[in-house]
Amino acid sequence: MTYRDSSTHRIKFDEHDVGALFKPADDQSMLIVFGHGAGAGMHHSTLEEITEAFAAIGIASLRYNFPYMEARKNRVDAQAVSTKTVKAAYEFAKSNYDLPILLGGHSFGGRMASHAVVEHSLDVAGLIFCSFPLHNPKKPSLDRASHMDQITCPMLFLSGSRDGMAERRHMNKLAHQLEATLKWLDTADHGYKVLKRTRKRKDDVFHEMAMHAKRFIQTLT
């Protein structure tokens, strides 16, 4: 399959049939299979911005929908269905693109990617979590990450400094326990919206995120 042009696809598994979107990158060295957040599908503007930023640093992307989003339901799928979706997208990427594979997602998509790696023993070069939802707002806990000590590949967390689902002390503790890389994005919230008046960096948050990702993937090659 050619992978120099953007293309849409259908990924079928069990009784499910979900959409996927491939975005190429200049001088692409890796491909990230990337899941969306709980409230927005693969065409959401935040995912567009994230994957565009990845493309600028040589990471091609394969975005996909979870079944509930395809069916336009408000409630996410059971974890077993969600992790099978991640697995199916991973297998599609592995079969069709001759590139090392990263796995990740924004919020819910990243969390399900972490479970899929454990439950289905997916062989990936690394994991990139954009706004990993460590806990519910104002209820700091590490419970959602109890499985992550079983992950053996390198991990990068890209969390906003104002993310209400990633309390700083708990995120720092998790990253330390996992020997993972954690980068705080200046004034960004869970959806990567920033406070322009108090943000110290002059670049936008997606460029900031991409620069951290670029340094991360350089350690993988």
pLDDT in tens, 164-193: 999 999 999 999 999 999 999 999 999 999
Give the number of domains in the chain: 1
Residue 95 resides in a domain: yes
For residue 1, what pLDDT is reported?
57
CATH number, position 156? 3.40.50.1820
Flag whether 45 is in a domain. yes
2 has pLDDT over 70: no
The DSSP-derived string for 168-203 is HHHHHHHHHHHT-EEEEETT--TT----TTT---SS
Report the mean per-residue pLDDT for the chain.
Answer: 96
Domain that holds residue 67: 7-218
> Residue 201: which pLDDT band, with cuts at 50, 70 and 90?
confident
In-domain check, residue 214? yes
Residue 203 pLDDT: 86
Q: Tell me the C-alpha distance between 7 and 164, whole Å.
A: 35
Compute the distance between CA of residue 88 and CA of residue 91 in angstroms, rounded to an integer. Answer: 5
pLDDT band at 52 (very low <50, low <70, confident <90, very high): very high
* DSSP letter, residue 56: H
Please say if the pLDDT value at position 3 is more than 80: no
Q: Answer yes or no: is 111 within a domain.
A: yes
Averaged pLDDT for residues 39-47: 96
Segment 146-165 mean pLDDT = 98
**Residue 99, in any domain of the structure:** yes
**Is residue 1 one of the residues assigned to a domain?**
no
Please state which of the ranges 7-16, 23-32, 195-204 shows the lowest mean pLDDT. Answer: 195-204
How high is the pLDDT of residue 131? 98
The mean pLDDT value for 122-127 works out to 98
Q: Considering the domain boundaries, does residue 133 fall inside one?
A: yes
In a domain, 2, yes or no: no
Scored b (16 or more CB within 10 A) or e, 132-158 reads bbbbeeeebeeebbeebeebeebbbbb
**pLDDT at residue 103 greater than cutoff 60:** yes
97 pLDDT exceeds 90?
A: yes
